[in-house]
């Protein structure tokens, strides 16, 4: 069942979205060769609690950490570890909060130092495809419009779309209906209605679309072990144009 949100509920979701956005930027400043992903996770937990929120992922369905930290060929749901980031790696940082009974959820893939040209193209394409999808997230449209926009943009640039993992609704639960695939057909799928809040999150592979599940039961890894990128924002469905609740502005301000 899809639960439409009131204006007041959307404002609480916006508060969570901004906390997540600030946490991603705070962690992103530390992403450089030599740091461990476990160290980044500890920083994030402390920072989220300093904002007055709880880590949304910690303990969620048994997940053992504050952040999903996915390096290179790990698409999503990577565990923090003692792995030290290396020049040329990429790191997907997926972050959640819980505050006033609602969740926040957003993700950004950071380059570690300088990356090669193909990796830079993968990052730029994945991020751009997110905005292509967001542009279709308006009342009266269909879920398939969002997925089709992401898929056509990425595939036209030589990349592939993960099928097994999708975006989702967001509210009092981290994952609500509807599912939001990153592929699909225009005019198909659930109708978008004002008051829906969804997370759009392209997960795009440099190589083939196939993935497999890590032995830990969480990490999703590209079958060909080529890199994968992941970007996610939270969007409230409105008439005319989408209302984006989370933002990458804090991250990009750090990079300029």
Is 123 in a helix, a strand, or coil? helix
Contact 85, 109 (CB under 8 A): no
Q: Which domains can be identified in the chain, with CATH numbers?
A: 7-255 (3.90.230.10)
Residue 163, class by beta-carbon neighbours within 10 Å (0-12 exposed, 13-18 middle, 19+ buried)? Answer: middle
Mean pLDDT of 212-232: 97
Beta bridge partners of 76: 220
Q: Count other Cβ atoms within 10 Å, centred on residue 36.
A: 15
The pTM (predicted TM-score) of the whole model is 0.97
Beta bridge partners of 228: 205
What percentage of the chain exceeds 70 in pLDDT?
100
Sign of CA dihedral 188, 194, 198, 202: positive
- What would the pLDDT profile of 153-198 be if each residue is shown by its tens digit? 999 999 999 999 999 999 999 999 999 999 999 999 999 999 999 9
Is 92 in a helix, a strand, or coil? strand
Mean pLDDT of 70-79: 98
Identify the CA nearest to 102 among candidates 220, 1, 10. 10
């Amino acid at each position: 069942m899809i639960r439409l949100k009131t204006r007041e509920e959307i404002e609480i979701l916006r508060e969570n979205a901004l906390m997540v956005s600030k946490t991603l930027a705070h962690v992103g400043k530390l992403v450089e060769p030599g740091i461990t992903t476990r160290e980044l996770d500890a920083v994030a937990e402390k920072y989220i609690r300093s904002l007055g929120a709880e880590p949304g992922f910690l303990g969620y369905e048994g997940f053992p950490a504050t952040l999903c930290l996915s390096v290179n060929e790990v698409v999503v749901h990577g565990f923090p570890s003692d792995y030290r980031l290396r020049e040329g790696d990429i790191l997907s940082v997926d972050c959640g909060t819980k505050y006033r009974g609602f969740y926040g959820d957003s993700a950004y893939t950071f380059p570690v130092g300088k990356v090669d040209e193909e990796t830079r193209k993968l990052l730029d394409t994945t991020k751009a495809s997110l905005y292509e999808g967001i542009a279709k997230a308006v009342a009266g449209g269909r879920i398939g419009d969002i997925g089709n926009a992401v898929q056509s943009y990425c595939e036209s640039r030589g990349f592939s779309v993960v099928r097994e993992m999708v975006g989702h609704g967001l509210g009092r639960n981290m994952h609500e209906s509807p599912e939001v695939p990153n592929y699909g057909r225009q005019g198909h799928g659930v109708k978008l209605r004002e008051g829906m809040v969804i997370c759009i999150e392209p997960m795009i592979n440099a190589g083939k679309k196939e993935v497999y599940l890590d032995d830990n039961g969480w990490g999703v890894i590209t079958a060909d072990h080529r890199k994968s990128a992941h970007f996610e924002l939270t969007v409230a469905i409105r008439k005319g144009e989408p209302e984006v609740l989370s933002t990458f502005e804090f991250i990009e301000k750090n990079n300029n």
